[in-house]
Amino acid sequence: MSELIKTIIIDDEEDARAAVQMIIASFQNDLEIVAEASSVSEAFDVILKHKPQLVFLDIDLKDGTAFDLLEKLEDVNFKIIFVTGFNDLAVKAFRFNALDYILKPINPDDLIEATQKAIKSIDEKNIHAQLKNLLQQNKLSKQKNIVLSTLEDIHIVEIENIIRCESDGNYTTFYLNNSEKIMVSKNIKEYADLLSEHNFFRSHQSHLINLAYLLKYHKKDGGYIVMKDNSSVPLSKRKKEALLKLIANM
């Protein structure tokens, strides 16, 4: 893995927490222990703060159980390895529900096996997420039209015909190459994210330009952009270097 897996150890026994940490340190370096907790309330806080990918979770805690903790959380988007002293019936229930668990007293081999399985699961999840994002970006890059909805009409506009966009609060105006203007009640950020795959550049907090219509960068008077429709667009200082690099590579 290129990044360490953020991990939290939750157990009301200090010796048990130390044992988990020692065993982890002895066999691999993929995990980063970012926090420990001994109670439901402490665990709730550190999970919200650190957003872990893996949690070693004791069943019985100082002020409740692991299930009390999980019910408090809105989203449980991390892998759990339960640490339990439960009887055989409870263990069978864990196994039936395909949950990872290790029994107390902690056996190093069991912990290592459960941890390696968790790492593999997290890796696969990350790969699926990356692939999904890649496919979504590919889809956006092939998109030729954008739908702009106003109070009166729904416009289907070819992206290549958009010269620039300018925002005023929660409204964004699209300037097209046929001199038409379309104002929609959406923030420019929504369109900046979408159109970045189509050669658009956010020159300013309130301005988004299609680089295909860039005519020149005027250096004087603080510096500003001139488009092929002769409109002037401001360029923020922090965006200047990025624009000059784009121009150099044209």
> Residue 129 corresponds to which tokens in the numbers above?
């997420």
- What does the pLDDT profile of the chain (250 residues) look like in tens digits? 457 899 999 999 999 999 999 998 888 668 999 999 999 999 999 999 999 999 999 988 988 888 889 888 887 888 889 888 876 655 655 655 546 888 888 999 989 988 988 888 887 777 666 666 655 655 555 668 889 998 888 999 999 999 999 999 889 999 999 999 999 998 898 888 888 878 899 999 999 999 999 999 998 877 899 999 999 999 998 899 899 888 888 7
Domains of the chain, by residue range, sit at 5-139, 145-248
| CATH class entry, domain 5-139 | alpha beta
Cis peptide before 105 (omega within 30 of 0): yes
Tally of residues, the chain: 250
168-184: b or e for each residue (b if 16 or more CB lie within 10 Å)?
Answer: eeeebebbbeeeeebeb
Separation CA 9–CA 20 (nearest Å): 8
Q: How many CB atoms lie within 10 A of CB 164?
A: 22
Residue 169's pLDDT is 84
Phi, psi of 55 (to 5 degrees): -130, 125
Separation CA 121–CA 172 (nearest Å): 43
174-178: long-range contacts at Cβ-Cβ below 8 A with a sequence spacing of 24 or more?
Answer: 174/148, 175/229, 175/231, 177/213, 177/229
| CATH class entry, domain 145-248 | mainly beta
Residue 87's pLDDT is 64
